[in-house]
Amino acid sequence: MRRLIYYITAIALCIGFTQCKKDFLNPTSPSNVDDGFVTSTPSETFKTLSWGYANYRQNCIMGTYRWNDPIGSDAETYPEENSSNNANGIGRADLLPIDAVAGGFNNLYTTLARAAKVAGLIAAKDDYKTAVAANKANDWTQLYGEAVTMRAVCYFDLIKHFGDVPFGYENNYVEDYSLNSRFAIYDSLIASLKVAEPLMYNLGTSGITAERFSRTFANALIGELALYSGGYQTIRTDVGDLYGNVKFDKKGNEKFGAVYARRQDYLEYYKIAKQYFQAAIDNKGTSQLITTDGRSYANNPFQRHFQYFQDLLTSPESLFEVGNIQGGTTATTSEYPYAFGRPSDGGSTNAAPAKSFSAIRIFPTVYYGDYENGDKRRDVSVCVTGSNGDGNEKIISFVPGNKITGGLASNKWDENRMSPPYFAAQRSSGINWPVLRMADVILMLAEVKAELGESGDAVILLNQVRQRAFGNATHNYGALAGDPLKDAIAQERKLELLGEGTRRWDLIRSGKFSERAMALRTEMATMINNLKNQGYHTFANGNTISKYIWTKKVNLANPLTYDVSDSTNPALYPGWRGQFNYITIDAIKSKVVGTDHNIAIKGLFNYIDPAGPEATALQAAGYAKINWGADIVTYATSYDRNTLSGYTSAGDPPRYYWPIPFETISKSKGKIKNGYGLAQQ
């Protein structure tokens, strides 16, 4: 794997090929000689597409840093106090400068322009035409499909993050351009993918791995495009007839020149989504929902998916991952686990493990209140401890900040669990960027079927994922229909995909974003008030968060822990924490401090009276009382700000877009302006 990135240098051979400027509207045309060379063989064409994959990774995903996706929901937040990085996440994108994500915007257009050019060149080739006429897939039809899919992925990202955008101008010099309706763009992308996908290879066929676009992924992408087109979203009311003949059912208040709405013919798009999500499952190739775990030391099929990433392997559950390379001169900026995983206070280089900033934080209402007993996903998804950077486990603090401060963090990616751990430098782990996996597709299909009234099928799909989560069928849902079924699917997606960048979008298209924002603010305020006034807060499922917990350092024969069913063992419960035994790595063992590397925790889920006999006994046994929920109380103002504070009413349209950059606006001859109350200059 990881071969895609090596072609970033090979593109230098194609100097004249679609040299798109940062201004996406002014690419220069490639020469005919270069066009012929680039499509002389499938391998040469793939080199050019590899540039697109690489640019998408480094300058499109990284250009927007994907913080617009994993934070800003009723489950995930950002850890720093008063950080501009969180302005969009809390619903205050109006605070962002106009060029906040200009790099991501421009590079998405650059990438899709390159992909569109490749598709056009392939479409003119006799070998491609012959294959299409024979309805037989070959390397040229696969490459054509990859190019069309790459273009669609980039436009999908643009719509999700910027709303209505210019469309169809790639590889042409234009002086007059304007916004295009997102709904027209969705229709065009769906149509183009419908042409391409039948002659693409299924995942695992002809060398197509999850690091490349396959028919499997293209089918799922059509489903997503249709689902998003048919779902609720914030649309503009300040641009005349932007949406043409599309009619809407509106919800809530008109505000910021925008309104929350869903197209009236949405069920037609849900039917398309149903067809193509099912096609992705039918054409799954080698992809699958991981339901067994063959490891001798663990039995958690849910975690097995993430372990593939940490072993630098593509996961069989993935439909698409963006490839990365670890270390050396070809290293890529890998934000897993640095920005999206378990935190570490380690230094930037040669630490045990190196620094992990951890931008995704999980609201305590989710960790304590949402998971049922026995759900194998909780401890894999959320961590209460991180790393000190010297081979020792460290309790996370609710003090606002980053690394080991900032509150509960995502636990799905952890350098301690790499094989072997990568310790040389931060942001160079080599862990792939996950984009789409089979559990997500299954639950989206369940969502669509529930909306279409096919409740029996929806429950079966829902229980596939739920049974994996608990390891048996005892927690399966029985007969459900209507809103209770939709709510159950949404909740399952929340817990299954926590920290993976889906919850925000799920809430938006469900039409419930603003009301869930207000409900979360109430839930957090109630929790903080109870912590302040009585020292603890108990959730409906019986779990209790307290102002204080008791911890002490302990020595374990295996300091890296896994599943544990014995909740009375404070050194092992909750599971999936601890540290890799860095003393076994010669290059880093000098950084390891002490011999007791693990932390035993008491009072994490039950209240211990600080003045009572249990607390006295714990202190006599070497435990120390430390702040836990007390820091949430102390920094209540910060938590209030970071809990979707941009929303003041359940009737507000959610505001989740980034501003279109100034250059695009300024050169549009007045035809494009930012909406939603975002910056104009």
| d(C-alpha 499, C-alpha 516), whole Å | 17
Distances (CA, A) of 147 to 272, 381, 426: 22, 34, 32
> What does the pLDDT read at residue 39?
87
The secondary structure element, H or E, covering residue 600 is strand 598-602
Q: Which two tokens stand for residue 300?
A: 């958690």
- Which of the residue ranges 48-62, 104-118, 549-563, 581-595 would you say has the lowest mean pLDDT? 48-62
Q: What is the mean pLDDT of the chain?
A: 93
| d(C-alpha 64, C-alpha 427), whole Å | 16
The secondary structure element, H or E, covering residue 435 is strand 433-437
Per DSSP bridges, beta strands 382-383 and 361-362 are unpaired
Q: What percent of the chain has pLDDT over 90?
A: 89
Q: Helix, strand, coil shares of the chain as percentages rounded to 5?
A: 40, 10, 45
Does the structure show a pLDDT above 60 at 20?
Answer: no
Mean pLDDT of 311-330: 92
Mean pLDDT of 560-564: 96
Tell me if 488 is assigned to some domain. Answer: yes
**Cα–Cα–Cα angle for 88, 93, 97, nearest 5°?**
115
Q: What percent of the chain has pLDDT over 70?
A: 94
Give me the number of domains the chain comprises.
Answer: 1
| pLDDT tier at 13, thresholds 50, 70, 90 | very low
pLDDT in tens, 623-656: 999 999 999 999 999 999 999 999 999 999 999 9
Full DSSP string of 87-146: TTTTT-GGGS-TTTTHHHHHHHHHHHHHHHHHHHHHHT-HHHHHHHHTT---HHHHHHHH
> What does the pLDDT read at residue 309?
97
Does the structure show a pLDDT above 60 at 23?
Answer: no
Q: Which two tokens stand for residue 104?
A: 């991501």
Tell me if 139 is assigned to some domain. Answer: no
> What does the pLDDT read at residue 64?
60
Tell me if 4 is assigned to some domain. Answer: no
Q: Tokens 């499997």: give the residue.
A: 216
Distances (CA, A) of 162 to 102, 174, 632: 11, 21, 33
Per DSSP bridges, beta strands 548-554 and 544-546 are unpaired
Full DSSP string of 12-43: GGGTTS----SSTT-PPPPPHHHHHHHTSSHH
Residue 469, domain extent? 439-512
| d(C-alpha 145, C-alpha 375), whole Å | 39
Task: Identify the CATH number of the domain in which residue 445 sits.
Answer: 1.25.40.900
Question: Dihedral angle at the C-alpha atoms of 281, 286, 292, 298, nearest 10 degrees?
Answer: -130
| pLDDT tier at 439, thresholds 50, 70, 90 | very high
> What does the pLDDT read at residue 10?
27
Mean pLDDT of 567-573: 96
Tell me if 131 is assigned to some domain. Answer: no
- pTM across the whole model: 0.95
Tell me if 421 is assigned to some domain. Answer: no
Tell me if 268 is assigned to some domain. Answer: no
> What does the pLDDT read at residue 83?
86
pLDDT in tens, 124-153: 999 999 999 999 999 999 999 999 999 999
| d(C-alpha 254, C-alpha 507), whole Å | 19
- Which of the residue ranges 15-19, 77-81, 424-428 would you say has the lowest mean pLDDT? 15-19
Among residues 536, 507, 545, 522, which one has the least CA distance to residue 648? 522
pLDDT in tens, 28-80: 333 444 788 888 999 999 999 999 999 999 899 876 666 578 899 999 999 99
Would you say 575 and 556 are in contact if contact means Cβ atoms under 8 Å apart?
no
> What does the pLDDT read at residue 667?
94
Tell me if 144 is assigned to some domain. Answer: no
Tell me if 471 is assigned to some domain. Answer: yes
Q: What are phi and psi of 44, to 5 degrees?
A: -65, -40
